[in-house]
Amino acid sequence: MDKTIKVFISQPMANRSEEEILNERLEVLNKLKKDLKTDNIAIIDSYFEEDEPKSTIHKGVYHLGKSLELLSTADVAYFCKGWQYARGCLIEKEVCQAYNILTYIDFSRPVKISLRKYFMDNENKGELDD
């Protein structure tokens, strides 16, 4: 498998430190490398450190919009444990369902071999139409 798999991570961020968030992202990367038996995985950088524009009234909506833009570039979306309790993650999950973006939901189980098989089978087939 030569193609780099681009992974969007959807994770709860409220009441969590930057260190906790970034450590979880690293854990996801290492887990996927191990389970998919490849180093050809790139995590899309969707952790925003910059402040939103001063005119922004709803900060969460601003950051969600930026996240959705990045989600559009992903091969797969990985939903970290607790996603179902975070508004942004719930919306990202709905977008994945509406646009047939391959998802992996972390219920603290290993990635199924079918995900690896999906990428091996579709490596040279090009992109799916919206």
- CA–CA gap between residue 93 and residue 58 (Å, rounded): 20
> Virtual CA dihedral for 115, 120, 124, 125, nearest 10 degrees?
-40
Quick one: average pLDDT of 53-82? 94
Number of residues in the chain: 130
Quick one: average pLDDT of 63-82? 95
Quick one: average pLDDT of 49-76? 93
**Contact criterion met (CB below 8 Å) for 113 and 34:** no
Confidence of residue 2 (pLDDT cuts 50, 70, 90): confident
Parse the chain into domains and list their residue ranges.
Answer: 6-121
Domain 6-121 fold is Rossmann fold (3.40.50)
- CA–CA gap between residue 106 and residue 109 (Å, rounded): 6
pLDDT at position 127:
44
pTM, full prediction: 0.78
pLDDT in tens, 77-123: 999 998 988 999 999 999 999 999 999 988 764 444 455 555 555 55
**Helical (H) or strand (E) element with 79:** strand 76-79
Q: 3-state DSSP call for residue 84?
A: helix
pLDDT in tens, 30-46: 999 988 888 999 999 98
pLDDT at position 116:
55
